[in-house]
Amino acid sequence: MRESTPIPGVTSFAFSRLLTPDASAAALALTDDGHLRVAIRGETMTRTDSLLLCSENVQVRPLNRRMQGRAVPEVFRRLVAVEGEGYLVLSREDERFYPIRLERDLCFFVERHVWAIDASLMWDVGTLPGSRISRAISLVRVAGEGQVAIRVAGELVAIKVSPDRPHRVRADAFVGWVGNVIPTAISDSEFVHCEGEGAVFASLPRPDRPEPEPEPEP
């Protein structure tokens, strides 16, 4: 007879599944089910919609947008500044989080995909060239050393762009880029033209769930 797995005591069970980050934990991390845990140590920029839980010893204040390195009166629609010592957990909902570490890199991301920015990173905002006339695509530029969390609907992939191999990416799948990429929204089109040298980030749509096969007739 197979020996059954012992059932843990409630205290050991609780302490084996703690979400609370310790001092060595990364600023941004994923839970086993893909939700985003944001550790607050001083200040972190993050979104608070889709909030699942938050320690009470932090303060939230509006975050002014920055353009060309200077704060401007306009307030971010999505990101806020969270200050103190604590943490929060954001739901992935029907999408997927991707925490990414910058190592003295310069990256640009579409604003609606940015969910958290490590306070050690420099950042400001702008607009994708060519997108002002029809529908402006807001961008966040992040640079330095630290983490940023991206949330997208499907799989996050990268496309290599070189001078002899430009690409076009659907605007609703376009997430951002790293390197010397020059993206331009194509007028009267649903695509973004990307040239230069670097990598473009895009979100591939999730495949539809296959319909269950009918059960065989008896």
Give 140-152 pLDDT, tens digit per residue: 999 999 999 999 9
Which distant-in-sequence residues (6+ apart) come within 8 Å of 20 by Cβ? Answer: 55, 87
Predicted local confidence at residue 71, as pLDDT: 55
Is residue 37 within 8 Å of residue 99, measured between CB atoms? no
Q: Consecutive 10-residue runs of the chain (218 residues): their mean pLDDT?
A: 78 86 89 94 91 93 66 65 94 96 95 93 88 78 95 96 96 96 91 97 78 47
Q: Is the sign of the CA dihedral 143, 147, 152, 155 positive or negative?
A: positive
For residues 203 and 190, give the distance between their C-alpha atoms in angstroms, rounded to a whole number: 15
Predicted local confidence at residue 206, as pLDDT: 77
Which amino acid would we find at residue 37? R
Predicted local confidence at residue 218, as pLDDT: 41
Which distant-in-sequence residues (6+ apart) come within 8 Å of 132 by Cβ? Answer: none
pTM for this model (two decimals): 0.83
Query: Domain 21-204 belongs to what architecture?
Result: 4-Layer Sandwich (3.60)
Side-chain half-sphere exposure of 10, counting CA atoms within 13 A: 0
